[in-house]
Structure 1
């Protein structure tokens, strides 16, 4: 087959470009090359992630991320996120990993990969302490439950709503949901224990309490699909620090309870 000069020139240009462009490095290689890890963490979910009096990140997830970076010998950059943007920040390369009270679900596992669990969270339906009308799931019929969009509470309560006759009202982030509770816009909420603590710190003489336990969930770090080297190295780090007690110590410092042994195997 003969090639004319124009076709030959195009072919040579393509070959030269292919030779000049290096193969795309994996995320772990990028982290180690730049000596910095970018961690997506929601700073609005105390005590997992929050800002201290000097507006600096603090919380159990923040300490886990900092400990990881220190052990790997890299700098850390926190990418502030919300519940709904944790996975998009990861999959659009704004962050290398997610360490942000991210519970493991089948739906999320379709779009990202998870590490071994390093923490846990208990989620409940909460309501005013003075309200004694909700003692069982059937008591929620006709009521509205506020949740943060795409969170585990949303995932768990949505199918129950259809079966039990209550309504799920979705907010875009934890701060908005907490404000709705404190202002009286929402009477019942599906939230984790930490958010209830935040609500009660702001609610004054109108505290909330847990009415029904939705579920206890293991929390893991999230990585992009196919980043097996990064996933394996994170799993190795988690296993070591679960065994030596560091992960439990960090959690207990902020949550005042231990991580159940089943979640740190």
Structure 2
């Protein structure tokens, strides 16, 4: 057999053996190219995710994802999107995962996969001193963030849907509160603590308000990646690395 014929035969065999995700030469050289994980975030909610002065993503979720990816031997590409587009882009497979303080809910679990929870956050209520004695159910208008679990928590606590007004981001929610459009704000601890810095109003937390469990979100059908992420999260938990990261949270 001539050298050209022999080489053509070898390359033909390699091409047949490779699947779509591998380079035709990966079998020859023993390496498979692994694409970076496309990680969706909404960098508007410090300390979980925000942008620094150089426009780089920083925060708890960013650090955690980097630890997880390092453990998996994967590179990362962060994709900053508006909150309302995150899960939509994930469902369309434009992203591999989403990590953005996303709470696990039954509705979301019907359409997406979740890893094991990596953080649990309290719910809080910010209101003027004059309303401190007023039961939650009697506050006329309560501002919450869209697509959060605040509506679910408030409904469970007996607050009517007509009392709740949702806003697309924390800036608009804060402006509505200062303008008197709503009498109180309800939601995640880290969001309300940031808003509380700029007011002398009362910020309170109660076990009855509820907890949100945050997890990494994946599209349906990504069970293999889900298992890898869960293994990494479990080992970070057992090693104490996850607890050390939580201690650095400025909440």
Is the TM value for this pair above 0.5?
yes
Contact 2:40–2:79 (8 Å) recurs in 1: yes
Q: CA deviation at 1:111?
A: 0.6
Contact 2:61–2:101 (8 Å) recurs in 1: yes
CA distance in 2, matches of 1:116, 1:108: 14
Q: Give the structure 1 partner of residue 105 of structure 2.
A: 105
Q: CA deviation at 1:86?
A: 2.6
Distance change in 2, residues 1:179/1:43 (3 Å): farther
TM-score (norm 2): 0.78
Contact 2:72–2:228 (8 Å) recurs in 1: no
CA distance in 2, matches of 1:23, 1:152: 42
Q: Give the structure 2 partner of residue 261 of structure 1.
A: none
Contact 1:84–1:173 (8 Å) recurs in 2: no
CA distance in 2, matches of 1:48, 1:86: 15
Instruction: Give the match's secondary structure for 1:254.
Output: coil
TM-score (norm 1): 0.74
Q: CA deviation at 1:101?
A: 0.7
Contact 1:82–1:173 (8 Å) recurs in 2: no
| 1:70-124 residue CA offsets vs partner (Å, 9 max, x unmatched) | 2233322212134433311211222110111111111000110111111121122
Contact 2:41–2:81 (8 Å) recurs in 1: yes
Q: Detail structure 1 runs of 4+ shifted over 6 Å in the superposition.
A: none
For the pair 1:209 / 2:178, whether they are aligned, the reply is: no
CA distance in 1, matches of 2:97, 2:184: 32
CA distance in 1, matches of 2:214, 2:153: 16
What count of residue pairs does the alignment treat as equivalent?
225
**Unmatched segments (≥5 aa) in structure 1:** 1-19, 26-31, 257-265
Contact 2:124–2:192 (8 Å) recurs in 1: no
RMSD of aligned residue pairs (Cα, Å): 2.7
Contact 2:72–2:232 (8 Å) recurs in 1: no
Distance change in 2, residues 1:197/1:128 (3 Å): same
Distance change in 2, residues 1:137/1:184 (3 Å): closer
| 1:169-212 residue CA offsets vs partner (Å, 9 max, x unmatched) | 111223322333345443211211111121123x25x3441265
For the pair 1:181 / 2:180, whether they are aligned, the reply is: no
Contact 1:37–1:74 (8 Å) recurs in 2: yes
Q: Give the structure 2 partner of residue 139 of structure 1.
A: 138
Q: If each structure's strand is expressed as a fraction of its own residues, which one has the higher value?
A: 1
Q: Give the structure 1 partner of residue 245 of structure 2.
A: 250
